[in-house]
Amino acid sequence: MHSAVISGTGLFQPPYTITNAELVEAFNRYVDLDNARHAADIESGARAPLHHSSVEFIEKASGIQRRYVMEKSGVLDPQRMHPRFAERADDQLSLMAEIAVDAARQALQQAGKTGADVDMVLCAASNMQRAYPAMAIEIQHALGAGGYGFDMNVACSSATFALEQAVNAVRSGSARCVLVVNPEITSAHLEWKDRDCHFIFGDVCTAIVIERADTATAADVWEVQGTRLATQFSNNIRNNFGFMNRSEDSDPQARDKTFRQEGRKVFKEVVPIAAAHIEAHLAQLGHDPAGVRRFWLHQANLGMNQLVLKKLVGEASEDRAPLILNEFANTASAGSIIAFHQHRQDLVAGDLGVICSFGAGYSVGSVVVRKR
């Protein structure tokens, strides 16, 4: 058995930003147009009116202040309310692969590796651009990597679940250097017309290099102490878009074909699951939460992260659990990896940390690491 380490990370940041103020202005214009269009039904009581959003509501509910997106004009068009992407030919690099390659090259450079050193690619994200061929194989080809690749989706826990597959592959000897990429174009599956969730997501891509400890030459290396995954079925976060829709003769524009959630139920149920999971994982490895220098948590909701941390160590602080969702919003599986990417440079050799995600499924994944 080989020891596995994380030797590099990368972050692709989209070119456009949408502030809460911009988002609210567009959403409220959409609400006014929709209410005017259905004025007669609203007047008769046959239809409930839509209600305005506000910057104050968004920040109080989530802690989010802005988000990055791949395309801005379509999202802010009250007649459209979703991104505009140009369809690409089959012989062009797809959009998800393009941003994954960008993040991957950063991670490989940090690790002191090239695409030729990689013998396994995992593309792990909450949605894939297509059914096949696998995004991972297209990314593998674009980078000049060898070995094999495949896609996997466990919604917001996709990255941590992929990390366990990567670590196990390195430990068993089936791969020497694994690249995990998390291209999250969440703007394409967010329901921008729904007041309860129109502010939640942002676009991004992260990348992580996992390799054998004896081949790692990077200046910043993290030993993987252990990984732990768990799932528990719930419909409280769901998206019914899929290849069966056509055969079911269902409406492709129906509300259930984009992201939807029962937010209060998710908050109430997921927080104790995540905290108990982390505590049990640390105990399994002989650690106490108090001994963890930093928690890089899933970035969905400020209050959720604060409560998880309070359950673990008794108090919440940004030094102990850095926040990136105020700038990036919820980036699905990439959130905890962004936090790890941006907030580990001040730690010293021997410091212990936990990368943890939680979300739809329900799913929760944790990776315990120690700085070498």
Dump pLDDT digits (tens) for 332-346.
999 999 999 999 999
At 263, is the pLDDT very low, low, confident or very high (cuts 50, 70, 90)?
confident
In a domain, 173, yes or no: no
Whole-number Å distance between alpha carbons of 360 and 366:
15
Q: How does DSSP classify residue 115?
A: G
Is residue 359 included in any domain, yes or no?
Answer: yes
In the structure, what pLDDT confidence band is assigned to residue 99 with cuts at 50, 70 and 90? very high
Q: What is the pLDDT of residues 221-237, one digit of tens each?
A: 999 999 999 999 999 99
Q: How far apart are CA 235 and CA 272, in angstroms?
A: 18
Mean pLDDT for the chain overall: 96
Residue 177 among the catalytic residues: no
- The C-alpha atoms of residue 326 and residue 281 are separated, in whole angstroms, by 28
Domain residue limits at 340: 222-371
For residue 315, what is the domain's CATH number?
3.40.47.10
Q: Is residue 279 part of a domain?
A: yes
Predicted local confidence at residue 326, as pLDDT: 96
Closest by Cα among 181, 166, 170 to 214 = 170
Instruction: Tell me, yes or no, whether 245 lies in a domain.
Output: yes
Per the domain annotation, does 286 fall within a domain?
A: yes
Per-residue pLDDT tens for 181-211? Answer: 999 999 999 999 999 999 999 999 999 999 9
Count structural domains, the chain: 1
C-alpha dihedral (22, 28, 29, 34), degrees to nearest 10: 150
pLDDT, residue 314, reads 94
Look up the pTM and report it: 0.96
* C-alpha neighbours within 13 Å on the C-beta side of residue 180: 29
Given a cut of 90, is residue 279 above it in pLDDT?
yes
Identify whether 52 is part of a domain.
no
| Mean pLDDT in residue range 141-156 | 97
Q: Is residue 290 part of a domain?
A: yes
Is 280 part of any domain?
A: yes
User: Of 123, 156, 205, 356, which residue is the catalytic one?
Assistant: 156
| Eight-state DSSP code of residue 300 | S
Segment 107-125 mean pLDDT:
98
Measured CA to CA, the distance from residue 52 to residue 372 in angstroms comes to 51
